Amino acid sequence: MTPASSPQDDGAIAEIISAHAHLEGPLLPMLHALQEEFGVIPEAAHAPLCKALTITRAELKGVISFYHDFREKPAGKHVLKICRAEACQSMGGTALAERLLAKLGLDWHGTTPDGKVTVEPVYCLGLCACAPAAMLDEKLIARADDARVEKALSAKNIGVSA
Amino acid sequence: MKIYVPMDSAAKALGADEVAAKLTQEIAARGLEAEIVRNGTRGMIWLEPLVEIEKDGERLAYGPISEDDVTALLDGQIDTLGKVEDIPFFARQTRLTFERCGVIDPLSLADYEAHGGLEGLKRAIGMSQDAIIDEVKTSGLRGRGGAGFPTGIKWDTVRLAHAPQKYIVCNADEGDSGTFADRMIMEGDPFTLIEGMTIAGLGCGATKGYVYTRSEYPDAVAVMQQAIEIARAAGVLGPNVLGCGRAFDMEVRVGAGAYVCGEETSLLNSLEGKRGVVRAKPPLPALEGFLGRPTVVNNVISLATVPVIFAKGAEHYANFGLGRSKGTMPIQIAGNVKFGGLFETAFGMPLGTLVNEVAGGTASGRPVKAVQVGGPLGAYLHTDQFDTPFGYEEFDGQKALIGHAGIVVFDDTADMLSMARFAMEFCAVESCGKCTPCRIGAVRGVETLDRIKEGDASAIPLLEDLCEVMTDGSLCALGGFTPYPVLSALRHFPEEFAPNTAQKEAAE
């Protein structure tokens, strides 16, 4: 059973859909706006999206599940993205990621039990000349090392065990 | 006094915002008459945050500057690097596309015009559609996204197509590791992209444009959106472009973390709000593109180069370069290098010169082992291939590609079997799933490389066979080009795939 949505949520969903309805190819902008508002693509938005765009639920599910960015389950309060791409690998990015995951006790895509942080892989942040790179929420960290990332995490009250 | 502190995301990731905040605080405390300008980056990333101070008509560079250096900087206790234009890495470049990047305030249209902006568009407005397309053809400009298709021919196909609505779509889905030129120009000189797209619109008879970029580039998205609003308010965009009576307008769209959406047909599906699945060609996007209508899909750098071609003339541009690779290429030097950044130069510079001289070798100080050129689908080149001039055909001759011109340098600690495995793993994660060679082949590729790592020599011919199927049978470059890094690693570093080494390493 999915929890029933509140009337406020339904209002916000309807507002987001109508705000983007005039665009050509409006689905991705709608999904981004919904996730910005709710942190996930709420299931309560599925039926109104399908109705507004005359698409089936299967088509909608297909789109949501295709893109790495869209969530159906909420992430932690903060999201740490660590670049796994080649330029970062050439500067020790793989080992950095492994150490940070171990310290947080997580695997890729995992969330700490206190719900504070989710760690996700990212393939290139465009900081390849100052690798390795990471991003905590929207804050970019170049020449990332344990100290720099841990400092950024502790600024968000996220503890890291040594 | 003007103080320039870059707002480019690489500079910000190295502390530029903190430097700017501290400067603001110190300027107020000291009662100085100084204006802080947030410019783009000059592209010398190892010097970021690179602060420039303009005083008495002279603009001097200091860097890298940290928050803690600000007091000393204002006290005059930090030595200058001199003028940016005199720093060897910069002095050696030919800046055409990136001429203004890092020089101007990216969001000042007045600054843009004072540095030659809109000259190209003004000239194009006085030209017929035929003449606009001929100018692009004469310039020899080829697609800077990687495929190298002649831009003028693509535009002509769209111009000649009959449809009530045509589109200019800018592919700003810069997902290749080692590349950041698109991001840099969007953050550092966004009006040049707007101007280039508008000229494309006038030439092809398209009135609407889209910039499709990445969610991983939030700063670029914000700067582009602001620049579009400024251009619209100034009448550069809108129903009456610079009063010429013709319309062109554009908007920014943001992807959602799918690498394959950098492939043009997958991008178009994504823009339409569908899964980013690759379309079979034909029909060409130039005839049936966005919403089934004629569409130019060009890379950021191709479009951002159009204004300078129109401002200075096609011949001027075509005079640079080598053979069929005309003009300049913004080469992005990345990975394990001493001097990383953007180096715009005429085609033709040998790879070894770029790596050993321009990039100054590795950051680690260890010997260079391999260089991956052209992103995750580009080949690993061995130092034996360092004579290869930087050009489309020249790299093709080495079973390599220049792609979007990112070069990633690795030192001798790189494990080439792991790099080959990563290429297959990445393809498996990012495959759109439409064609079997890519969807299944990438997964089998990871398994086959694991067998090789465990010492199974019989898996090597199997890997070669699999790569052949992926190359010949994949619908797009994701599956079709993944064999480039895999086979080049195997070909140039066979000892790392040999059973004894592999077994030994596995046992360790």
Q: What is the pLDDT of residues A100-159, one digit of tens each?
A: 999 999 999 999 999 999 999 999 999 999 999 999 999 999 999 999 999 999 999 998
Is the confidence at residue A1, as pLDDT, over 50?
no
Give the chain B residue whose CA is nearest to the CA of A152: B13
Task: Return all residues near B114 (Cβ < 8 A) that are at least 6 apart.
Answer: B104
Q: What is the mean pLDDT of residues B328-346?
A: 97
Phi, psi of B422 (to 5 degrees): -60, -40
pLDDT higher than 60, residue B507 = no
Using alpha carbons, select from B179, B245, B192, B202 the residue that is nearest to residue B223: B192
Nearest to B271 among A25, A67, A86 (CB): A25
Q: Closest chain B residue to A129 measured between Cα atoms?
A: B334
**Nearest CA to CA, how far is A114 from chain B (Å)?**
26
Please, how many CA atoms are within 13 Å of residue B241, restricted to the half-sphere of its CB? 27
C-beta neighbour count of A119 within 10 angstroms:
23
* Cα-based angle B30, B32, B35 (whole degrees, multiple of 5): 130
The yes-or-no verdict on residue B505 having pLDDT over 90 is: no
Whole-angstrom distance between the N-terminal and C-terminal Cα of chain A? 41
Q: Which of B12, B45, B218 comes nearest A129 by C-beta?
A: B45
- Residues whose CB falls within 8 Å of the CB of residue B206, separated by 6 or more in sequence, listed in order: B158, B165, B166, B167, B168, B200, B248, B294, B295, B296
pLDDT digits (tens, 9 = 90+) for A19-34: 999 999 999 999 999 9
Note the ipTM here.
0.95
DSSP structure class, residue B234: T
Mutate: best of B7, B216, B331, partner A, most A CBs <10 A: B216
pLDDT at residue A8 is higher than 90: no
Query: What is the arithmetic mean of pLDDT over B3-23?
Result: 98
Q: Do B48 and A130 touch (CB under 8 A)?
A: yes
On average, the pLDDT of chain A sits at: 94
Computed over every residue of chain B, the mean pLDDT equals 96
Residue found under tokens 């599906």:
B269
Q: How many CA atoms lie within 13 A of B65 on its CB side?
A: 32
A135 to chain B, closest Cα gap in Å: 9
Q: Which pLDDT band, with edges at 50, 70 and 90, does B504 fall under?
A: low
The CB density around residue B490, as the number of other CB atoms within 10 Å, is 22
Question: What percentage of chain A carries pLDDT values higher than 70?
Answer: 96
Compute the nearest-CA separation of B53 from chain A (Å).
Answer: 24
SS3 state at A109: coil
B176 touches chain A (CB under 8 A): yes
In the numeric block, which tokens belong to residue B55? 């005083």
Say whether pLDDT at A162 is over 60. Answer: no
Chain A contact for B438 (CB, 8 A cutoff): no
Asked if A140 and B215 come within 8 Å (Cβ–Cβ), the reply is no
At B83-92, the pLDDT tens digits run 999 999 999 9
Q: pLDDT grade, residue A7 (50/70/90)? A: confident
Nearest to A67 among B176, B258, B272 (CB): B258
Using the 8-state DSSP alphabet, how is residue A39 labeled?
Answer: S
Nearest CA in chain B to A26: B273
Q: Do A90 and B271 touch (CB under 8 A)?
A: no
Beta-carbon contacts below 8 Å between A and B = 150
Residue of B nearest to A89 (CA): B335
Distances (CA, A) of A145 to A76, A92, A93, A94, A161: 22, 9, 9, 11, 15
Tokens coding A128: 């390849």
Nearest to B256 among A67, A88, A89 (CB): A67
Distance between A24 CA and the closest CA of chain B, angstroms: 7
Interface of A with B (CB under 8 A): 24-29, 31-32, 53, 59, 62-63, 66-70, 85-91, 122-131, 133, 135, 138, 140-143
Give the residue-averaged pLDDT of B240-267. 97
Q: Which candidate from A62, A86, A143 shows the least CB-CB separation from B275?
A: A62
Residue B149 pLDDT level (bands cut at 50, 70, 90): very high
Q: Summarize pLDDT for A84-95 with one digit per residue, the tens.
A: 999 999 999 999
Task: Tell whether B46 is within 8 A of chain A (Cβ).
Answer: yes
The side-by-side arrangement of strands in the sheet containing B167-172 is: B249-254, B208-213, B167-172, B295-299
**Residue A4 scores a pLDDT above 70:** no
- CA of A105 vs chain B CAs: smallest distance (Å): 23
Closest Cα in chain A to B432:
A66
- Contact criterion met (CB below 8 Å) for B300 and B193: yes
Residue B129: pLDDT band (50, 70, 90) is very high
pLDDT at residue B503 greater than cutoff 80? no
